[in-house]
Amino acid sequence: MNSLAINTTLNDRISAFAKAGSLLTSYLKKEPTDATTTIEAAFYKAQAKNSWFTDENLNHAFEQWSLALTEDALKIWTAPYHLKNISPRTVAIITAGNLPLVGFHDVLSVIITGHHAMIKNSSNDDVLTPMLLQLATDHLPELSQSYSYNDGRLTGYDAVIATGSDNTARYFEYYFGSKPNIIRKNRNSIAVLTGSETINHMEALSEDVFNYFGLGCRSVSHLMVPRGYNFDLFFNGMFKQQHLIKNEKYVNNYDYNKAVYLMSEFDLLDNEFLLIKEENESYSSPIASLGYSFYDDISDVADQIKNDADKLQCVVAQGKAAQTIKANLGNLTAPAVVDFGTTQCPMLNDYADGVDTVDFLLTLS
């Protein structure tokens, strides 16, 4: 493996990223700083390149990272790890671009542990990560030695973190299988409903379903409901997101999927901006639609989730249902069982696929 010289300390790096986080916070509060123009320019450039990056979705991503990039949060995250005496390596990072800043956690993990991040950004999101890194580097110029960008063929790396679909994962495994790696595939998130939920639960669930238009692996794409479940309360909660029907790309997907389902003679439930249909073969669903399946006993649900753990990122559940599912998962690190309304609000130690990125990076030294 290649050895590098990274002339910053962990405390230096934490301070630099905390500064970037504070600048995001000021931007969201509309408090002018020297970085306002930089952040604003990146905001609108990212939006121009990817029309799924609406004001609402970009602001949500910025808010989550402003909360994560604080000195306290970064110190709490890194405290359990032994990050002294690291031998720096070059880690190639191939990012996804389905959500704003979706690959930044990998970049942050590599840099914070004292390695060098060789970043291959998705063309769908190649503006925001450089912007955040620039904010941190403006505070700590030496940080520039901790990352680089690569738009061509990857060479000179010691390890790989790559995120993509099941399809691209096969190529990643072929090309990068000889190196230490984390290769992520498709995953979905589901909600397990019992009928005891309140309207507040359903409105919170609407965030899990509709944040980022449901494009993330942490977005709920499937419902598991007791047989005979009445969907009225569910649809009442979803009504909170009715404004999405004004988005041109969203409504085009809604209209298209509705036409396909009707031509296929599927039985649909429809509230004029969300389609749901019974689906027992897959947890994934197209934009503007959800699948649902019935269950007779929560223990059967827990068994199914355990059997399909490698397909799931998050399970939204509450009360005894959540307890039963967690107990049945045992020592499995994924999927995460989470509260309503929190799937798109992960903490720094909520690792994708349950794979501890920092632990992996420590094995390289």
Read off φ and ψ for residue 63, nearest 5 degrees.
Answer: -65, -45
Most distant CA atoms of the chain, gap in Å: 63
Which residue has 């032994």 as its token pair? 82
pLDDT tier at 2, thresholds 50, 70, 90: low
Nearest of 272, 341, 276, 331 to residue 306 by alpha carbon: 331
Give SS3 for 135: helix
> What does pTM read for this prediction?
0.95
**Average pLDDT taken over every residue of the chain:** 96
Q: CA-CA distance, 201 to 232, in Å (whole number)?
A: 13
CB atoms within 10 A of CB 166: 10
pLDDT tier at 142, thresholds 50, 70, 90: very high
pLDDT, residue 362, reads: 96
CA 12 to chain CA centroid, nearest Å: 27
pLDDT, residue 209, reads: 98
- Whether 169 shows a pLDDT value over 60: the answer reads yes
- Whether 184 shows a pLDDT value over 50: the answer reads yes
pLDDT tier at 1, thresholds 50, 70, 90: very low
CATH topology match: 10-186 vs 188-338: no
Q: What is the mean pLDDT of residues 132-146?
A: 97
Q: And the tokens for 278?
A: 């019974």
CATH topology of domain 10-186: Aldehyde Dehydrogenase; Chain A, domain 1 (3.40.605)
- Whether 3 shows a pLDDT value over 70: the answer reads no
Helix 36-49 × helix 10-28 angle, to 10°? 80
Nearest of 286, 320, 288 to residue 301 by alpha carbon: 320
The residues with which 222 forms a beta bridge, in sequence order, are 190, 291
CB atoms within 10 A of CB 175: 14
Write out pLDDT tens, residues 216-247: 999 999 999 999 999 999 999 999 999 999 99
Write out pLDDT tens, residues 22-35: 999 999 999 999 99
The top-level CATH class assigned to 188-338 is alpha beta
The single-letter code of the amino acid at 189 is S
Q: Parse the chain into domains and list their residue ranges.
A: 10-186, 188-338
